[in-house]
Structure 1
Amino acid sequence: MSLINPNDTLERQNEKLLKIADSLMRRVEYGTSQSGAAYAQFERAALLEKRVRERTLELERTLDLLHDANAQLARANDETEAARRNLADAIETISEGFALFDPQDVLVLCNSRFCRDFKDTATELKPGLPFDSYVDRVSRSKYLSLPETQDRNAWAKMRRKKHTERRVMFNVRLVEDRWLQVSEQRTKNNGTVVLQTDITDIMRTERQEQAKLRDKQTRMIRATLDHLNQGVCIFDENAQLVGWNQKIGTLLSLPARRLRIGATFVGLLDDLDDEYEFTRGIDRGSFRRWAVSDGLRQPISFEVQRGDSAILHIFGRAMPDRGFVISCTDVTAEREAAQKLYELNEILEQRVMERTLELEDALSAAERANASKSRFVAAASHDLLQPLSAAKLFMASLSDKLDAPNEQAVLSKAETALEAAEQIIDALLNISKLESDGLSFDIRPVALREVFDPLRDEMGILAAQKGLRLRILDSSLVVKTDPSYLRRIVQNLLTNAIRYTDTGRVVVGARRNGESARIEVWDTGPGIAEEDQNSIFEEFRRLDTKASNNDGLGLGLAIVERACARLGHPLGLWSELGRGSCFMLNVPLAHDAELSTRNKTINASPIGLTQAGLIALLVENDPQLRRAISILIESWGVSVIEAEDAESALDLMDDLQISPDALLLDYQLGDGPTGTELYEELTRRLGRLPCAIVSAERSTHLRQETRRLEIELLLKPLDRAKLIEFLQSAALRAGI
């Protein structure tokens, strides 16, 4: 229990303690008890006095601290009040209306100029007013002047919307033609500072300036025009002059008295001397009609020449007010430079033409040389094929007469050597044809099985001899290409794959690839290094240096590349060393092609010809080849009538007065008629007879000619099986 109320002030507590101490002292001094209890009470009183003294000292220190705190608080209040007064004085000295809203959009303070022009609202603007209330009061003020198309609620809505932006500036119109510019900016604590600036004087001055603008613009335009390097004149909608510069008078040689406000375009045009010549597709009349036209004027540009001294470029353009402006530029120097450039260009073109003619002569010489080379290769191939064909036929005739195995072996080797020579000559001839410009192809729908099936039989034997597995997959795709060249391409790729594959297999197949068929030839050969994959298509290039000439001279892939390029069949190659290679070519598919598949069974033996008694007319200008063919077919029981050329053949037919069962006609018969012309003459005399044209020429023209005459074409060297097939067919047609 405490003797002092702690809620009392320090002064009151000290006063109570003093009274308690005094009361205790009196009781001790005048107590009735004379015993030792009195002394004990004295001691307690002394101790109590000591505690009171200590408490008193603590209270005095606390009072001192309190007095210091009160003094500091008073000074802080004084400083705050002074700062507030200084801030109020500062914003009061601003010549603009100032107001500060806190982050909650509550008015903190404003100066007396804020909304001073809204006299019916200014008294209501006090700290604590929300921003929306401030906008409502201003929008209802009678001193606010709004357009007729805008009401006060719409203006208040617009004002609140602007307040959501971080930086705002707009003009407010007041009554009595006064204006305020209101701007808002955000403070760092997201408060808002609103400034109102009286811009009445500015707006009135601007209005006055606008009244003077026409005269001022006129002066500015004149000053600008005078500084231009071009002559300029401006006409109004009535084609009357309203502005010009001095340069226009100098360029056009117009007197100063004629250049005046109100001068007509027609009058100025008539003042131009007759020595001004209008060029570049326009004349005076057209220029006059353009200027006085009431419709929309299109930009106009032309040149006039004054004698031989000056060339002026005139440009005219319409203006929005239906007037027009005309500019005049002296382009004499530019035209002279252009003329010099033109002359220089003529000289350069002449030199280029001379150089071009030289290059054309060189190109023609190169083309003639290339054509000569091609003709030489074709002629040499033809001349080589003639004795080669005769040799093969002699060998074929001997094969039926030799029975000894060693003789048959020698004969077989000789035939192999002849076939190798034939392949080389045929390859050279094909390359020559593919490089010539006159080559044409027989493009038509071809079933891939017609290409694959014969190759399966022919190449299967070659693969079996090397112990390889050859697989040619059946395909039902129909492509659009030249069948003979496609067969040659696939055959060369197959031959190349078998030749360079020692073990494993070779696979040929076709798969649909969009609108084309991709023919692929895979092998398990040694593969081709990446740096060699381009060079393998060069002539006489073989990667296997140990291969003999009997393995080919490296012309197969060269023929493949040229044929694919001329046919437009993209050729591709994938290869990896040690794994094998894949050659692929894309051939376009033939849509809705009607193909008639012919299954021909060729009887490679002359069985039946001996008993047929067939008579054949053979016309061949090469004696050795003629004799070889005769010996061969006579060994089959066919009677042969020989002739050297067309004239002797016709005379022979007239003398013998017989009609042969078959015709074997060489195409090139010297200086006389060709084999096809001889056939037409024999047809007129003897009627249609089975005929085969024998030739080493592989031209498209000859193929088309034999197709037109509906006769066979047997290419040299003659194929024994095809010759037998023709004779058997002739025997059947003759009914023998």
Structure 2
Amino acid sequence: MNATAPKPALESDASQHPTDPSAGPDDLSLRVLREHVSSVYAAYNASVFVHFGLGAALGAAMYVHQPRLWILAWMAAHLSFGLVLFFMPRWHEGVPLVDTTRWARRHSRTVTAVSMATATAPLLFISAGDLPVTSVVTVVIIGSCARAMQLLWPLKPALYGYTLPMMLSLIAALAWQGDALHFFLAVFSLGYLLFTLRVGDQQHKLLTDSLVLRFENEALAAQLGKQIAVAERASAEKTRFLATASHDLRQPLHAIALFGAALENELREHHGGRNAQRLMRAVNALGNSLDTMLDVSRLDAGVVMPVVGPVSLDALFRSLNHMFAAQAEQRQLQLRVRASGLWVRSDPQLLYRMLSNLVDNALKYTARGGVAVRARARGDMVWIEVLDTGIGIAPEQHERVFEEYYQVQNPGRDRAQGLGIGLSIVQRLSRLLQHPVQVKSRLGGGSRFRIQLPAAAPLVADVEPAAAFRSTAASPEAVIHATRARILLIDDEAEIREAMTGLFHAHDLAVDAVADETEAVEVLGRPDVQERPFALLMCDYRLSNGDNGLDVGLRLQRRFGLQAPLMLVTGETSPERLQHVRASGVPVLFKPVNAAALLHALADVVPKAA
């Protein structure tokens, strides 16, 4: 059967028989065979028409050359056979995979029968005394084999079944004539047959190997997809576990911090006051570790939105110097923060956080020498550089130091060197602010971290942009306007309510502490609320029975027409919940909250008239 080059396997076929990663060699062989069968059947109709059309043309030429009735009979039989093949059932995409072998054999038998029917032509038409007829028959037979060979490469039995009968018949008919010319044509035809079969074998192997490789790649891709899905599920489960664990850890730590602050205040003049101070230092260190991890969650959740404007680097550098001078002196290191008079466009608090993490990291990994912070103008850009004389970073670790929890030369996880999250936060803030960070370092030769920022025109006022990051003790002046405020606290943890109540009472703040919305409704329905209304509604975000403090607080404000602002206190680290809180615009404190931070937050939120 004549045909053009094979068509590629149909996409719908692959979709109906997806790759099974657990499939064995037998199933893989069937899938490869199916693609071969699909390829040879893709041009079935055209092949039938071309092959039997050429046969009819050959018979007509022979009849014109030598009118004989048996030639017409041969033509009629040939065309009838073509009609039978045209209307025969054929393979289609809906054929089950297990039936592929049967259809491959059926097609091989069909093309062998076609070849045997055509093989009668050389025996009937070639004669020693009629060279033109010999030439026509030879060209038709060889040309038919050449065209069909391209289609039948995928099925080796079909290739042999179609090629051998016709070509062997032609070779035998030519050799039978006995003269030198016909013998030469016979030898030529034999050489062509051997060459054709060799090329066919090579092409069949090439096609089969490519299909095997394709299906193996699909199987590997499917396995990889499953493994990725498993890893994503494990990551999601780990995230949920860590969020729950973080929340559950923050709850008691929040209570410990508040009880500890009260205990420290009571024992200030007592001989046990030193132990209370040590306790609070340990609690604050643990709280700082949890807050660092929370920063990562907040950045990943997209709840941190930069407020970009002109920033004085001198003011920001003064804040850095104030914050780290004592730490550098304690480690007997030099801290040089150089004024430059430069201004940049950035978010002052987030930029301060980037630089403070870099300086803190430099001090931790520097044993001798010191740390320098400088800024230089470069065209319309400004480079801020943090340099140290520390242990340095090997070139292959330059990228890894920005990974979470990765620390250079800290296999024992020394807590004095932190959690290994600081540079990860720097990288996240770099992407958020679009301030590229570069690192240049060599092992034992110190490090240089460079931040590239756009320059800005200076403003008249030179304010300290990073005051919000400096932790200072609460002063009476900072909260004096809130000392007569009345607060409604909603928290389902009894220990939290007791600790918060004790802290508020210690600062002469009136507080009504309840466990849920029902109790809050009862409190808000009392007559004394009209005489002395609440100045603040403070809610824990995660309450019992699936409620959250944001929804509860908003419902209470609407129901009772409260003018008191709402403040959330939460131990949540889930990115989804953090986004929900941010979208509300309600101020939020993250547990554990120390007493100073809590009182400062009250001073900012509670109305001055309270």
Alignment-derived partner of residue 630 in structure 1: 501
Alignment-derived partner of residue 476 in structure 1: 343
Alignment-derived partner of residue 476 in structure 2: 606
Determine what percentage of the aligned residue pairs are the same residue: 27
Alignment-derived partner of residue 121 in structure 2: none
**What CA RMSD, in Å, does the superposition of the two structures yield over aligned residues?**
4.8
Alignment-derived partner of residue 649 in structure 1: 520
* Partners of 2:572 and 2:280 in 1: CA distance: 22
Higher Rg of the two aligned structures: 1
2:577 is aligned with 1:714: no
CA deviation map 1:78-135 (0-9, x unaligned): xxxxxxxxxxxxxxxxxxxxxxxxxxxxxxxxxxxxxxxxxxxxxxxxxxxxxxxxxx
Letter in 2 for 1:580: G
Deviation at 1:535, TM superposition (A): 5.9
Kindly report which structure 2 residues correspond to 1:566-645, keeping only aligned pairs within 5 A, or say none. 570-576=436-442, 580-586=446-452, 604-607=474-477, 609=480, 612-645=483-516
Deviation at 1:616, TM superposition (A): 0.5
1:253 aligned to which of 58, 73, 76? 58
Deviation at 1:501, TM superposition (A): 3.0
Alignment-derived partner of residue 189 in structure 1: none
Letter in 2 for 1:336: L
2:532 is aligned with 1:727: no
**Higher RCO by CA contacts (8 Å cutoff, separation 6 or greater):** 2
Letter in 2 for 1:713: V
Deviation at 1:378, TM superposition (A): 2.1
Deviation at 1:644, TM superposition (A): 1.3
Deviation at 1:394, TM superposition (A): 2.0
Change in CA separation of 1:471 and 1:702 when aligned onto 2, cut-off 3 Å: farther
2:366 aligned to which of 501, 512, 529? 501
More strand by share: 1
- The gaps in structure 1 that reach 5 residues or longer are 1-229, 231-247, 261-271, 280-305, 311-327
Change in CA separation of 1:443 and 1:430 when aligned onto 2, cut-off 3 Å: closer
Kindly report which structure 2 residues correspond to 1:77-116, keeping only aligned pairs within 5 A, or say none. none
2:556 is aligned with 1:682: yes
2:418 aligned to which of 552, 555, 570? 552
* Partners of 1:575 and 1:587 in 2: CA distance: 21
Taking structure 2 as the reference length, the TM-score comes to: 0.58
Kindly report which structure 2 residues correspond to 1:360-509, keeping only aligned pairs within 5 A, or say none. 360-404=225-269, 406-429=271-294, 442=305, 445=308, 447-449=310-312, 454-467=319-332, 468-471=334-337, 473=339, 475-479=342-346, 487-509=352-374
Deviation at 1:486, TM superposition (A): 5.1
2:148 is aligned with 1:332: yes
CA contact (8 A) 1:377 1:429 kept: no
CA deviation map 1:433-453 (0-9, x unaligned): 77x7x6665355355559766
User: How many residue pairs are counted as aligned between the two chains?
Assistant: 430
More helix by share: 2
Kindly report which structure 2 residues correspond to 1:117-128, keeping only aligned pairs within 5 A, or say none. none
CA deviation map 1:631-688 (0-9, x unaligned): 1122111101101123322232224662310111111112242111012112202234
CA contact (8 A) 1:661 1:730 kept: no
* Partners of 1:619 and 1:339 in 2: CA distance: 78
Change in CA separation of 1:612 and 1:416 when aligned onto 2, cut-off 3 Å: closer
CA deviation map 1:283-317 (0-9, x unaligned): xxxxxxxxxxxxxxxxxxxxxxx99959xxxxxxx
- The gaps in structure 2 that reach 5 residues or longer are 5-52, 66-77, 87-110, 116-142, 157-203
CA contact (8 A) 2:258 2:503 kept: yes
Letter in 1 for 2:251: Q
* Partners of 2:400 and 2:218 in 1: CA distance: 38
CA contact (8 A) 1:610 1:636 kept: no
* Partners of 2:394 and 2:215 in 1: CA distance: 51
* Partners of 1:259 and 1:451 in 2: CA distance: 104
Q: Secondary structure at 2:324's aligned position in 1? A: helix
Change in CA separation of 1:253 and 1:444 when aligned onto 2, cut-off 3 Å: farther
* Partners of 2:255 and 2:436 in 1: CA distance: 39
Alignment-derived partner of residue 390 in structure 2: 525
* Partners of 1:523 and 1:500 in 2: CA distance: 9
* Partners of 2:390 and 2:356 in 1: CA distance: 17
Change in CA separation of 1:622 and 1:573 when aligned onto 2, cut-off 3 Å: same
* Partners of 1:731 and 1:720 in 2: CA distance: 16
Deviation larger for 719-728 or 555-564: 555-564
Deviation at 1:498, TM superposition (A): 1.8
CA deviation map 1:351-397 (0-9, x unaligned): 65454333322221121112222222222122112222222222222
